Amino acid sequence: MAVTRDIVEAHRRPRRVMARLMAMGVREDRALAMLMGSCLLLFMSQWPYRARQAHETGGTLTDTIQHDAVGLIFVLPLLAYGLAALLRLVTRAFGAEADFYSARLALSWSLLASSPAVVLAGMVKGFIGPGPANTAVGVLWLMIFLRILINSLIEAEQ
């Protein structure tokens, strides 16, 4: 199934999509591609706000996004792998028996599946600016991300 269809389905039935991803076998390249795609979408979702920032300060867009590029494209994937390992250790403390791959896949998939909300948050922050609307969309993204992550981790156990 196409990734876009899986993203839409993950908002309705996250466990079914995770079961389908787990049934494809251990494919580290797939988990890494999901993570890198998520990081790229996170990076691009910041562009409207960075353009607004550059306009307000009189700087150039490349000056404002270069640190985002390093942080979101190069550092965040490394941090995500560490977070997935930590997540796996926490779930093991609760009796979970899934492996580290399933934690990496669940985290990568949750980031990718919640990316439409990240893009919306970036647009709200860029066009409206920081404020209550941006906070509300950020909370919405966090709730979507956590719902998909928790359901994916539960499915990985079965």
**What does the pLDDT look like over 94-112, one tens digit per residue?**
887 778 888 899 999 999 9
CA end-to-end span of the chain: 22
* Residue 16, pLDDT above cutoff 70: yes
For the whole prediction, is pTM greater than 0.75?
yes
What is the number of domains present in the chain? 1
Average pLDDT, integer, range 35-58: 90
The residue range of the domain holding 39 is 3-156
- DSSP states of 11-64 as a string? HH-HHHHHHHHHHT---HHHHHHHHHHHHHHHHHHTHHHHHHHHHHHT--HHHH
- Say if CB 2 and CB 9 are below 8 A apart: no
Q: What is the dihedral of CA 64, 68, 74, 77, to 10 degrees?
A: -170
For residue 76, give every residue at least 6 positions away whose Cβ sits within 8 Å of its Cβ, in sequence order, or none. 39, 42
pLDDT value of position 1: 58
In tens, the pLDDT along 75-95 reads 999 999 999 989 888 888 888
Q: How confident is the model at residue 156 (pLDDT cuts 50, 70, 90)?
A: confident
